Amino acid sequence: MTIDAFIDALPKVELHVHLVGSASVPTVLELARRHPDGGVPAEEEALRAFYRFRDFPHFARIYQAVNALVREPEDIATLVLGLTRDLSGQNARYVELTVTPYAHHVVGMPMREVTEALDHAARRSLEEHGVRVAYVFDIPGEYGTEAARITLDHALGEPPHALVGFGLAGIEQERPRYRDTFRDAFRAATAAGLRSLPHAGEMSGPETIWEALEHLGAERIGHGISCMDDPRLIAHLRETRIPLEVCPTSNVCTGQVARIEDHPLPRMIEEGLFVTLNSDDPPMFATSLSREYRVAAEDLGLDRDTLVTLARNAVHASSLDPQGRQEILTEIDAVSTGPVPG
Among left, alpha and beta (phi > 0; psi -120 to 50; other), residue 134 is beta
Distance CA 308, CA 166 (A): 28
Helices and strands (H, E) in the chain, number of each type: 16, 9
Cβ atoms of 136 and 197 closer than 8 Å: yes
Is 43 considered catalytic here? no
| Number of residues that make up the chain | 342
Distance CA 254, CA 205 (A): 16
Catalytic residue among 14, 172, 202, 219: 202
Spatial CA neighbour of 215 closest among 227, 198, 193, 235 = 198
* Residue 173, CA distances (Å) to 121, 144, 208, 239, 314 in order: 34, 12, 9, 27, 28
- Residues recognised as catalytic: 202
